[in-house]
Chains A and B, each alone.
Chain A
Amino acid sequence: MNRFFSFGRLGALLVKEFIQMRRDRVTFAMMLGVPLMQLLLFGYAINTDPKSLPAALVATGNDHYTRAIVSALQTTNYYRFDHVAESAAEAERLMARGEVSFVVTIPSDFARRVDRGEAPQILIEADATDPSASSGAVSTLSTLAARALNRERGVAPGAVGGPALDVVVHRRYNPEGISQYNIVPGLLGVILQMTMVMMTSIALTREIERGTMENLLAMPASPAEIMLGKVLPYLVVGGVQVAVVLVTAKLLFSVPFVGSLPLLLGAILIFVLALVLLGYTISTIARTQMQALQLAFFFFLPSILVSGFMFPYRGMPGWAQLFGEILPLTHFLRVVRAVMLKGADLAAIGTEIAWLIGFVAFFSALALLRFRRTLD
């Protein structure tokens, strides 16, 4: 029999925790409902290929080529030409105000250049503050415009007819552009972060507020046993959430998965462990459940903002990148994107895994240090 650790006592705590979890219907529903709802909400809101985006046309010429291209663009459903701008400056203002997502400019010398056999140019400016929204529209544009132009010139599809159309694309406000596949794997991290930290952050404060902490402390359970008894059940909850998100990602969003599943699951396990320990650390600091939730949320917001989930990490200022490094989510996002989308192996993500293991060690040490064995 060990003074400081016994599996029997840990078992007691685990069984008790699972029963309470099962009996707390609301929380139980949250464990399944929240990830699903978030995934659908975020996933669809951010990721679907949006159609009928408002667009402005700047076309000073009124020739048949221009009209053909405009009507071809309209039939894609990607664009909805609500505005016909008189000048580039007016179009600029429309975009700045967010009234249009695109400005398509067909220069006045367009028809002349086509007739002369020179390469004609069109300019498309896309509001890339939400780049996933515009990427589909931009990528279809050049082929459609070229096809419409060729048809107008009487060139058979597939045949080479005259100089190619030159489409100049400007991504405004965010030149990097994130592909939509970036977001669903990222959501896995965000959802886990939110639910795992929140649920474990009230682990101890709930016992304190219900008055059961006094009894628990009066019985012979060591701080390590209490900590593991509190956090391990949530690994199972995390596992369920991971399955829900991965399956949904595959079925609804067709996110490619080129890497190794065991490697990803291993990384997720370490990440979730870091998260539940972070939550538990919060619960050793907070005095009430309300405080705990506030702390968890306090941690959640910067995680979303500077981890590279919302904004491209490389596009952030230096200080923000530095801040991002000390958040588990940042490292997990790199791992999950690298493994799912680029097929990275362990060697490629070794540093990030080491960071995550570091977080696990750091948070467990901090939680054990902070744990109060008495009611003082």
Chain B
Amino acid sequence: MNAIDVHGLVKRFGNKTVVDNVSMQVAPGEIVGFLGPNGSGKTTTIRIMCGLLTPDAGSGRVLGYNLLTDSLKIKREVGYMTQKFSFYEDLTIAENLEFVARLYRLKPVANHVADTLADLGMTSRRNQLAGTLSGGWKQRLALAACIMHQPKLLLLDEPTAGVDPKARREFWDEIHRLARDGLTVLVSTHYMDEAERCHRIAYISYGRMLTTGSVAEVVANAGLITYIVSGPGLAGIAAALESRDGVEQVAPFGATLHVVGSDRQELEAALSDIAARDGVTVAPGETSLEDVFIQFMAGSKDNMA
């Protein structure tokens, strides 16, 4: 049985379709990255899956419970970490954890809270108001609070936005540890390195699921060709290439230029005179996940409209 198994989800706000016929299957123990530009419908999809929004169409099961009729049961076994910190800023760390422990009827409350505080390394700061924590610590507190009741499924909505690299690394180590113990994780993110730490990724744009699969599959399916240009006068070369047929992306990477297109012949034709220049080398390169995403985004300019 899949942890998440939803079909044809649709959500409209007014006359705007924000989630458009989204289906998703996530196996138990899997870590799935949920990617897409701002406003593409990630948060809305996640909210539907934990019963916070009613879909206008579609159906499915989360942890085996019917999405439309069993939202109370789903809530009890899902841990949902909201995009914006949504614990009580005027309560201390310990008080927030106690509140959660009591709501989930964890007994004895004091032990659960003490264990969580110890895991977090926050025992000495238990009486600090949650509102005074830095962004990274807030995320850690929120994650700790939503795994306290040992959910079977974690829905994390941009859990590492604005968190420093070390804290992100630790965060992801923790996610993998939890997944090894059988927890299923759906996590939305904008970071490529995080997407690469997922077993599988799903890319959504304008509310539509564009692609899903492992990172290698997604890159291969995109069918992009990448050349790497190096040498003098890269800025001028970039400006010249941008308008040429067959060139879809030109992006500087350090002392090199990544030039991406989807038609090999056209791309090579566009690059031929550049390759002939003195001191300039053009070599085939590997297409990165980021190149693929930029390509997706270019195809769907602005999701906020």
Contact = CB atoms under 8 A, between A and B. Distances in A.
A contacts with B: majority SS: helix
Interface in B98-145: 98-105
Interface stretch (B50-58, B262-270, B276-284): B50-58
A9 B50 CA distance: 20
Nearest to A218: B80
B90 A24 contact: yes
A16 B99 contact: yes
Contacts of B190: none
A376 to B, nearest CB: 6
Nearest to A215: B86
B91 A12 contact: no
B103 A212 contact: no
A157 interface: no
A242 B88 CA distance: 30
A214 B82 contact: yes
B52 A218 contact: yes
Interface residues of A, number: 30
- Size bin of chain B's contact surface: 20 to 34
B51 A374 contact: yes
B99 A15 contact: yes
Given A8-B105, A375-B52, A212 B75 contact: no
B206 interface: no
B82 A211 contact: yes
A212 B86 contact: yes
A42 to B, nearest CB: 32
A217 interface: yes
A219 B103 contact: yes
Contacts of A11: 102
In this complex, the member of A213, A375, A376 whose beta carbon has the largest number of chain B beta carbons within 10 angstroms is A376
A6 interface: yes
Contact of A1 (B47, B53, B78, B105): B105
A16 B95 contact: yes
Contact of B47 (A12, A210, A375): A375
B169 to A, nearest CB: 26
A12 B99 contact: yes
B76 interface: yes
A20 B90 contact: yes
A211 B95 contact: no
A23 interface: yes
Contact of A374 (B53, B91, B103): B53
A221 interface: yes
Contacts of A213: 86
B72 interface: yes
Given A218-B82, A219-B100, A20 B52 contact: no
Contacts of A252: none
Interface in A214-235: 214-215, 217-222
Interface in A1-32: 1, 3, 6, 8-9, 11-13, 15-16, 19-20, 23-24
B177 interface: no
B82 A215 contact: yes
Contacts of B52: 214, 217-218, 374-375
A207 B100 CA distance: 16
B99 A23 contact: no
B194 interface: no
A131 B102 CA distance: 56
Interface centre among B90, B98, B101, B104 (most CB of A within 10 A): B90
Contacts of A16: 88, 91, 95, 99
Interface of A: 1, 3, 6, 8-9, 11-13, 15-16, 19-20, 23-24, 210-215, 217-222, 373-376
8 contacts: A8-B105, A15-B98, A211-B85, A212-B87, A214-B86, A215-B86, A218-B51, A374-B53
Interface of B: 47, 50-54, 71-72, 75-76, 78, 80, 82, 84-91, 95, 98-105
Given A12-B102, A218-B51, A219-B75, 17 more contacts: A3-B72, A6-B105, A12-B99, A15-B99, A15-B102, A20-B90, A24-B90, A210-B86, A211-B82, A212-B86, A215-B82, A218-B78, A218-B80, A218-B82, A373-B71, A374-B52, A375-B52
